[in-house]
Amino acid sequence: MAGAPVVEAKAATAFALVAGEGIAHWSGRSYGGLARAGFMRNPVAHRAVRLVAEAAASVPWLAYEGEAEVSAHPALALLSQPNGRQAGPDFFEVLYGHLMLSGNAYVEPLVLGDALRELHLLRPDRVSVVEGRDGWITAYDYRAGNVSRRLPVESEGRLSLLHLKLFHPLDDHLGFPPLAAAGAALDLHNAAGEWNKALLDNSARPSGALVYQPKEGGNLSADQYERLKAELESGYAGAVNAGRPLLLEGGLDWKSMGLSPKDMDFIEAKNAAARDIALSLGVPPMLMGIPGDNTYANYQEANRAFYRLTVVPLLTRTAASFSAWLSEAYGEALRLEPDLDCIAGLSAERDALWARVGAAEFLTEEEKRQAVGY
């Protein structure tokens, strides 16, 4: 109807950057979109997510009751084999991957009788939050195919779902995925790859133009234009026709288009986008092999910063959440901590600590052991 208002809808399904008529179309930031366009399509995002998830998942856990370390506890056995299909590192790799791509991770307990037997991860895009009248979460709905289950937050005699989330400034209940902060860089990097592929398909060189310069003026007729276009597409397009000489009729002249200084900045723009993707996930670009980043003096320093600033904080917050949750499950005050002594990337810091403590003559042997965590 004429004069009716135009309703604009925001699409959040596909990841693509399409430049048309001066307008850039940016993709959505859903879990499925980030997973497909980031982890499954972009090599920088894929490697950065795996680097964080695998590094954090490889660190073993320690259990404490008060100040005393417990070497044999059911919680440690459960975390080393959460379920029949996943070992501990596999389970936590998926958990940290969910946090990187969704900002949320959901752990469902399997309780048989009065004992906690298994832990299972729920895919974040299948879980939705149910709010009560007071604004607090009352339950979680989990949908897989045509099956839907409601998991209450509080249920007498039943262990609730464990929800881990990263900080979100505009959402009270859900976390913000780190990769979404680099969404524009992710779109740019993917678009750069598509541009390079199109360039290879076009004989790996910039396109040119056919200019019609008749002696007596005039333009090509419609039939001549269509015939020329069909011949170019069939006989000269594609990598198999690279370098094939172009046969031109009278009045036609080929004008090659070279790369301008502006086009030469394209490669640096792609590297800048790659650095933004890596930094959003807390991975020093030097570890990703991205050129042009000299923030760290050497690879060892970058690796140490990666563990200290990214992996250890992620492990600490995960340990705190699991400690409170498993303390409720086992009915005792349980404290979980990552075994940082097993992290090879922090060996230099550990050696320096032992040297300082060992040289402290005013400490007893017992005090020295406590100072280094024993």
Question: Quick check: 252 and 204 in contact, CB under 8 A?
Answer: no
- Residues with Cβ within 8 Å of 300's Cβ and at least 6 positions away in sequence, in order, are 348
**348 and 307 in contact (C-beta within 8 Å)?**
no
Domain boundaries, the chain: 31-182+284-339, 343-374
Tell me the residue type at 265.
D
Rounded to whole angstroms, the Cα distance separating 298 from 284 reads: 11
d(CA 237, CA 229): 11
Q: What is the pLDDT of residue 96?
A: 97
| Neighbouring C-beta atoms of residue 185, cutoff 10 Å | 24
Q: Nearest 10 degrees: CA dihedral of 209, 213, 217, 221? A: -50
pLDDT at 288: 87
Q: What is the pLDDT of residues 142-180, one digit of tens each?
A: 998 888 999 888 877 688 899 999 999 998 899 999 999
Q: What is the pLDDT of residue 342?
A: 84
Spatial separation of the C-alpha atoms in residues 346 and 373, rounded to whole Å = 15
Helix (H, G, I), strand (E, B) or coil at 67: coil
The ranges of the chain with pLDDT < 70 are: 1-28, 157, 199-200, 202-220, 225, 232, 235-265, 293-296, 353-354, 368, 372-374
Beta strands 127-131 and 115-122, pairing class: unpaired
- C-alpha angle 49-318-316 in degrees, rounded to nearest 5: 95
Contact 321, 297 (CB under 8 A): no
What pLDDT sits at residue 10? 38
Predicted confidence at residue 23, as pLDDT, reads 42
State residue 367's pLDDT score. Answer: 73
Reduced to 3 states (helix: H, G, I; strand: E, B; else coil), residue 316 is helix
Asked if 74 and 331 touch (Cβ cutoff 8 Å), the reply is: no
List, for residues 334-374, the tens digit of each pLDDT value.
999 999 888 887 777 777 766 777 777 777 777 767 776 66
pLDDT recorded at residue 4 = 46
Token digits of residue 88: 């501990």
